Structure 1
């Protein structure tokens, strides 16, 4: 099937993995709908056409086998439900899924999904039965081998039984170590496993279809995804940092949707009538619409009832957190509004770095940017207040200029990407005109995007902090800053995602009435830095390296089996502002001396080493004495560190006394769990402080050594204190 060519919606350097929402619809789990049949054929038309896909692949029996494998592993990634016998029975589908997608007759995917649901129910029944057996003594050398990604499928149900017995015993041991008694443990785990079966039982035809089409999409390349209409809406919401509703973060607990957090400035918090932990048991529209009892509903269905256009009214029946669930609810009326998700926006702070050998202290501004977000729809409407990472970063930089800070650190750790336009524009805040990224399309054509505006917002000292979770648009920004010699790159080698995605709306072809078919996030190009190098696979390598948190063999683009290889194209002309090579040995020496005496940095390094060693085992002991000794050791370490913090006048760790309670997130008190999550954000951050100290070192060294400054800073006619003009 061929589809009519369309103009690109927007070039995007999108996040590492698309958010996959479990969706609900009026489709039977075993009976694909007409819309799904059409969507499958449309997705096939896109992914097999070189006019759209950067690396199109023929949908043949070979690719069908890959889709088959990915679909099974997406349903059962830990290989804890299907047996080798199940896979053998499904083998006939291995070479038929290509025909199913082309024709839109995707019933095989639904049949596989149905078997998955059956196997989950069987496993849950087995796990609940184990709780009644006498298997919970924890001596000897038993272990739970939890990492089964590369394990073969279990030969039969007897082998699965043995695996599940070890898994259940580990769950029991965690709760026992947390101080729970046998009756309480049994009750907690029985409810946990029952909820697992219930949650999987709620999955339907839309869930099956979304998972299946994504098995096809990600077989083309790791960053191509299919979004159902509701998933597409949520993705756009995450990129725009805005939504229309009441301003509450919700969580499902058992059969009830609970308020986890109230968003500042939203109708919910401004009403003064709601708080974290309150339960929503009914929803009504407007001032007279019928109240619907939403107990037992899926959370996404409840969310759909609560959100709506700004200015409209919604009524909620609320059972307060402190009341029993069958209490009479309070009825609350709220007017929906447009909510800005400020918690996910750029934030700034100023760190003071003490001087050395009589030198003055330095004040370093820090901008934490979690994503390169942009409200596409707001921009299209020429709205004056649309969300934009560039706007927010520019505002913070101007504030820093007013405060006369000595340097700026851009913290891009775990920033998985976002809008390519924003990455280019933010780079332009630090350089005076020039190319930022080259995008090479499948036909070989290269497009250059860059900063065309004269002047800069910040021309002073700059550093960029990255880690393995920094990807895509983050790598464009960090790589361009490095190519230009505009700032220091500090941290870990980045993820290595060097491809560009485009959102394609499938509703445009059949001229659909409303949103029926979803969207595809499609890889359309590979990006290259101004110097011609791609970040694909290799990532951006920092100038000053911190200890590696996650090994490149475990996480990153290079671990993905169908990722594009690294490549290089011709460089484009651009100005080099600096060459930090001559300065790096001094910075490394100062850095190493400082961290040797920095307790927080040393503790972080020790924790990382311990985490990596434990993670490399891929198993945990089921010996109670051994596990208890480990728990006591970790508790003693946390206590000793808190005491040392007090003695040294350091900030206390708000999670210093935190221990494993053996519970999952939806088993804890939701309000307390949300508060704990907030407290974690305030933990000491030795990496950020050390990055600021490295930048302060660079400022001091260049200010005091004019010959070195002349070597490092290449641009002439620089004002005092400037790194570039």
Structure 2
């Protein structure tokens, strides 16, 4: 295909000797130590090839179908053999083909932007996430038509992104120039990272290779000490994606940035130009976002809640160090129908490992803080407790086990199975049951890992009600392995990077894994989070849900199956009469209809209307107004959880009656925060 206005091509990328050596060790570690035992055959070749092409060309807008088939025949058929031998050459060859076509695409779009007058009144549409909905274009004419539509979409997105006083055509041209520059400056490390990502994620989505530079950033993120926004980032296709919001950081406190959001631009200060970062190396994006405490960074974000539809939004964050106090468990008191209810907000399962090792008196511990709050709530005579685990992505396994014991007493909490089939049961052995009253655990799609261990144990023991959305479904354990060649006194040891390797799975004490399906709530309170974007089951290589034998434990029976049936029926009847709740469900249905559309309108009026609808729904029900940063007066989902706990309190406090008898309480109530 002839390039349009294309300058001389940069030299082809080739793997370095260190990368070739690292590839051999990566293959060895994956085959010997990964939890999933993957056979090396044609199926693995096709998995790696498909994942690699989907990562490079996620929207199927660089290659035509005949070109993909040619790549499959020439390189894809023997990628498994290349993997075993540690030879990344064919991976580099595919990457070079991608770069060639990417430069052609940018040149074509730049030329079209200069010469074309767009018609935004015609009823055209553009399919998004084409890897899920559409084949590669059949020929060059279809490919060029797709590029033209993408250019119209970029123009509309820039126009309605919220940046004022901008020349739209100039802004889009800057974006295209920037991306062309990135494609022209690619290095062997970029090709190696892209290919290794396809290889490692063919085993499972949480196995990954870190180059020496990337691992340095990973260590900084884990230490959580560097000043910035308090978010872990990762690359997915050409995008920088938020992988975790760190409790206590600026992003966490603002509630404006969510797991799964795509960062497409970064600006310094309140007036600095927002620079497009699509296609940038993750290290370069991180350097742009980090900065001194007290300074402002503006991020241009494609929200995960909108499934990539509508223009990006601009959010403003003030850089700061992670505030450990903001991570800590906090309490609230709310009243509902005359009942006094305690709320324990738990952003993460934190533990100061070094402080614990040194036996410091005041080391940070989730268990210590939750125990203190429980005692305070008991002194205030609350009639029930809600443990709020929304947005809690996990943390210390030890703390998850011990906190569970505060509500269930000593005994099994979670099982761990390793790659060899060995099983270990983790028990709470130190903490007796501190609270015995009515309990609700509030979760959402962002509740993961240690949160799921806690919620699953509460459910298996029949200790309380699980309320909210299905949880994330991450039930695997990872370990960091340093890639090292055998020691030689005659050879300098090169740093070959690190491998994050999945080595074990978590299982509930009832025998089922939390992996893939997460914890299913007893009563569903749907959130605005898009389950098609967020969750373990959205990854194509996610390890499956499986079972092992049940641990030796005795259910407590505080909440029985019969109780759950009655409470679900009561909630359904009452919420059907609640105009506010029904309004929320109607907005959620509208949001889901927009998400599920396979295409976006390129007709300006339709584009504008859809974008306005998305923004209005987010403003009505989101935690904060994305434009003003003003906090909402109420937490709607927490209110609904309080209504359910109120029903549980009423159920457990009434005398024995026939199972069909309704709970006595007003038809509609609202929970009112007072502390």
Task: Give the TM-score normalised by the residue count of structure 1.
Answer: 0.70
2:343 corresponds to 1:365: yes
Query: Is 1:491 matched with 2:474?
Result: no
- Classify the secondary structure of the residue corresponding to 2:55: helix
* 8 Å Cα contact 2:269-2:297 kept in structure 1: no
Cα 1:458–1:238 change in 2 (3 A) is farther
Please give the residue correspondences for 1:60-459 in structure 2 after superposition, counting only pairs within 5 Å. Answer: 60-91=41-72, 92-150=74-132, 151-175=134-158, 184-240=167-223, 242-243=224-225, 245-246=226-227, 276-277=269-270, 300=283, 339-342=321-324, 345-355=327-337, 360-369=338-347, 371-373=348-350, 389-390=366-367, 393-394=370-371, 396-401=373-378, 403-459=380-436
| Alignment correspondent of 1:696 | 646
1:603 aligns with 2:580: no
Structure 1 339/93 Cα, relative in aligned 2: closer, same or farther at 3 Å?
Answer: same
Query: Quick one: structure 1 residues 104 and 385, their matched pair in 2 at CA, closer, same or farther if it must change by over 3 Å?
Result: farther
Q: What is the alpha-carbon distance in structure 2 between the residues aligned to residue 107 and residue 652 of structure 1? A: 48
Classify the secondary structure of the residue corresponding to 2:114. Answer: coil
Q: Distance in 2 between matches of 1:688 and 1:319?
A: 31
Q: Distance in 1 between matches of 2:55 and 2:354?
A: 32
Note if contact 2:410-2:429 (Cα within 8 Å) is conserved in structure 1. Answer: yes
Measure how far apart 1:348 and its partner are: 2.5
Structure 1, residues 647-697: CA drift from partner, whole Å, max 9, x if none? xxxx99853xx7xxxxxxxxxxxxxx7xx5x54x65743112211221132
Residue 121 of structure 1, CA deviation: 2.3
- The answer to whether the Cα contact below 8 Å between 1:415 and 1:474 also exists between their aligned partners in 2 is yes
Q: How many residues align?
A: 587
Gaps in structure 1 of 5+ consecutive residues? 1-27, 253-260, 266-274, 281-296, 308-313, 322-337, 642-650, 659-672, 710-725
**What's the offset of the Cα at 1:385?**
7.2
Give the SS at the match of 1:57: coil
Please state if 1:623 is matched with 2:573: no
Q: Distance in 2 between matches of 1:556 and 1:513?
A: 43
Q: Deviations along 1:30-74, whole A, 9 cap, x unmatched?
A: 23333322322222111111xx22222243443223212211211
Q: Give 1:522 shift.
A: 2.0
Alignment partners' CA distance in 2, 1:304 and 1:396: 39
CA contact (8 A) 1:346 1:393 kept: no
What is the Cα deviation at residue 184 of structure 1?
1.9
Q: In the aligned structure 2, how far is the partner of 1:414 from the partner of 1:352?
A: 20
Stretches of structure 2 that go unaligned for 5 or more consecutive residues are 1-10, 234-245, 251-267, 274-279, 299-319, 660-675
**Structure 2 CA distance for aligned equivalents of residues 302 and 174 of structure 1:** 21
Query: Which stretch shows the higher mean deviation, 609-618 or 530-539?
Result: 530-539
Counterpart for residue 529 of structure 1: 508
**What CA distance in whole angstroms lies between the structure 2 residues aligned with 1:654 and 1:554?**
21
Q: Distance in 2 between matches of 1:277 and 1:541?
A: 43
Note if contact 1:424-1:477 (Cα within 8 Å) is conserved in structure 2: yes
1:584 corresponds to which residue?
Answer: 564
- Shift in Å at residue 628 of structure 1? 4.6
What per-residue deviation string (whole Å, max 9, x for no partner) do you get for residues 82-106 of structure 1? 3334424433221343344344432
Q: Once the two structures are superposed, what CA deviation does each residue of 1:480-533 show, in whole Å capped at 9, x if it has no partner?
A: 110011111012233333333333233486599888233322222232211122
Q: How does 1:667-682 map to 2 (within 5 A)?
A: 678-679=629-630, 682=632
Whole-angstrom distance in 2 between the partners of 1:632 and 1:530: 47
Structure 1 position 430, deviation (Å)? 2.1
Do the aligned partners of residues 140 and 300 (structure 1) sit closer, same or farther apart at CA in structure 2, a change above 3 Å counting? Answer: closer
Normalised to the residue count of structure 2, the TM-score between the two structures is: 0.74
Please give the alpha-carbon distance, in whole angstroms, between the structure 2 residues aligned to 1:634 and 1:494: 24
Residue in 1 that maps onto 2:499: 520
Which residue of structure 2 aligns with residue 56 of structure 1? 37
Counterpart-to-counterpart distance in 2, 1:249 and 1:432: 35
Between 596-605 and 507-516, the greater mean CA deviation after superposition = 507-516
Aligned CA distance change for structure 1 residues 182 and 123 (closer, same or farther; 3 Å)? farther
Counterpart in the other structure of 1:573: 552
Q: Secondary structure at the match of 1:55?
A: coil
Q: For residues 419-459 of structure 1, what are the alpha-carbon distances to aligned partners after superposition, in whole Å with 9 as ceiling and x for unaligned? A: 43333233223221111111222332211112111413444
Which residue does the alignment assign to 2:438? 461
For the 8 Å contact 2:470–2:519, the answer to whether it is kept is yes
Q: 2-side partners of 1:184 and 1:362: how far apart?
A: 56
Determine the C-alpha separation between the residues in 2 that align with 1:264 and 1:62: 43
Correspondence for 1:474 = 451
Distance of aligned partners of 1:183 and 1:134 in 2 relative to their CA distance in 1, 3 Å threshold = farther
